Structure 1
Amino acid sequence: MSLPTDYFVDRRRLRRKLGWWRLAALIALGVAGLVAVVRLGGADSADKLTPHIARLELQGVITGDDDTIDMIKKIGESSQTKALLLEIESPGGTTTGSERLYEEVRRVAEKKPVVAVVGTVAASGAYIAALAADTIVARGNSLVGSIGVLFQYPNVSKLLNNWGVEVETIKSSPLKAAPNGLEPTSPAAREAVASLVADSYAWFKGLVRERRNLDEAELAKVSDGRVFTARQGVPLKLVDLIGGQREAIDWLVANKGIAKDMPVREWKKKSSLERLGLVGGAAGLARIAGLDSIAGLLEKSILLERSGELDGLLAIWQHSAAN
């Protein structure tokens, strides 16, 4: 029994449709792969292949981590990036991390204009990062300054004595591993640490003097460790303009020849769950759901991860908040 002609025609049409669907699926898969590569590639994403102003957020404790430094390097090397807006929201961090960040931003500033835009706070090591910019823009109530260096360590020697615990140490010289917090700090150890702090403090003040064009009297007014509002900071030469991103872009247009309609593109680090905000976001959702204990554990995990990066001298603003 022979099959009707219509059967073969329908089969042929079905095969043709199936072939088109397969081709469409392959194209969709390729596009999805390209999008994934673009998203993960950061500097190679499609919206960064045209002239733009780069916007990079500097948040939290500054450690001079490789991901931040690499992102700044990519911005400096990008031929399509015409300027950098460095959005700062940080109380500071390690002196070495702040130094590394400052030097990398200065390398970018040698090639293209850089504006630091301060959010709530850019203190201590974060202010060091702001110093690397060509100009500093901040809201009137933003906090800036905290020019100084500290070295902190807990001393539990009295507590150990109360419990009858004695830590015995054999070391090559009196200042080896001193101070260590397990024994009273000797005058020699205190003097040695004080010399480290003084050296880094002199370096910090030198940056402020040079970058903000201050004389010794002006420098003395701002370098006692306190923070200032941006309104106070303008006459003290710590801040150039009151405002935010809009004012920063206006400055670029007026002083650096940047086109007024040039788009601003976000440059983000996407190399870890914390940077993607998943841990912090989960903590926030836990708070909303009333799961405060879980939220606290998630928040502590972030703090513990960061605390391991804070060895050595610190350029960080510390304040106590009311419960």
Structure 2
Amino acid sequence: VEGLMNKVGGKTTVVKSGQMKDAGSPFRGMSEEEKQLFQKIIDEHYEKFLKVVAARKENGPSLEEIRKLTDGRVYTAEQALELGLVDKVGYFQTALDEVLSRAGLKEARVVAYTYYPKRQNNLYATSLAGTEFMSEPVEKIVSGLKSGFYYLWLPAL
């Protein structure tokens, strides 16, 4: 965005309370300090992910094998299963059945508590503002979608 702003003569003015308050701003290049900050966060989460995957079963891939496999590429569920990155492929009901089995239960009632904060006025939240779509639980929205790639954006977070 910085290059486009320069090309069209646009300017931004940042008013902030701390040096890193606008870290990662698209309106300017990232400083070396910001790159290090974000890289440290990413590295910490990546290490946590590796440990969770490696610890989940005894006969799975080692930490080093997992590290080699998790280079940023995307795997399908079947590929991840074949590589030992996941134990099973399924959907919500599959997971629920597994929980019931492990708990020794025949049935359970799933209760979902949902909090709908006041929507912020922004480009994403206003496109469907006031429609019933915005107040539906994710499960109900997703069930009506055709297969494909989607992202979930949570403006309140």
Shorter-chain TM-score range: 0.5 to 0.7
**Is the 8 Å Cα contact of residues 66 and 85 (structure 2) preserved in structure 1?**
no
Q: Deviations over 1:37-73 (max 9, x none)?
A: xxxxxxxxxxxxxxxxxxxxxxxxxxxxxxxxxxxxx
Give the gaps of 5 or more residues in structure 2.
117-134, 145-151
2:112 aligned with 1:269: yes
Alpha-carbon spacing, 1:169–1:198, altered in 2? closer, same or farther (3 Å): same
- CA apart distance, 1:276: 8.7
Does residue 200 of structure 1 match 2:45? yes
In the superposition, relative to structure 1, how do residues 246 and 224 fare at CA in structure 2: closer, same or farther (>3 Å)? Answer: closer
Partner in structure 2 of residue 307 of structure 1: 154
Indicate conservation of the 8 Å contact 1:157/1:182, yes or no.
yes
Q: Which residue pairs with 1:236 in the alignment? A: 83
Cα distance change, pair 180–239 in 1 and its aligned pair in 2 (3 A): closer
Could you tell me which of 223, 226, 230 is aligned with 2:73?
Answer: 226
Larger Rg belongs to: 1
Higher RCO (CA < 8 A, seq sep 6+):
1
Q: Give TM-score, length-normalised by structure 2.
A: 0.55
- TM-score normalised over the length of structure 1: 0.31
Aligned partners of 1:200 and 1:170: how far apart in 2? 30
Higher helix proportion: 1
Within a 5 Å distance, the mapping from 1:98-113 to structure 2 comes to none
CA 1:270 to 1:216, structure 2 compared with 1: closer, same or farther past 3 Å?
closer
Superposition RMSD in Å: 4.0
Structure 1 partner of 2:9: 164
| In structure 1, distance between residues paired with 2:94 and 2:17 | 59
Whether 1:258 and 2:101 are equivalent positions in the alignment is no
Q: CA deviation at 1:252?
A: 6.4
Deviation for aligned residue 1:219: 1.2
Cα distance, 1:269–1:227 mapped onto 2, change above 3 Å: same
Aligned length: 127
Mapped partners of 1:197, 1:249: distance in 2: 33
Contact 2:2 2:27 in 1 (8 A): yes
Following superposition of structure 1 onto structure 2, how do residues 25-104 of structure 1 map, counting pairs within 5 Å?
Answer: none
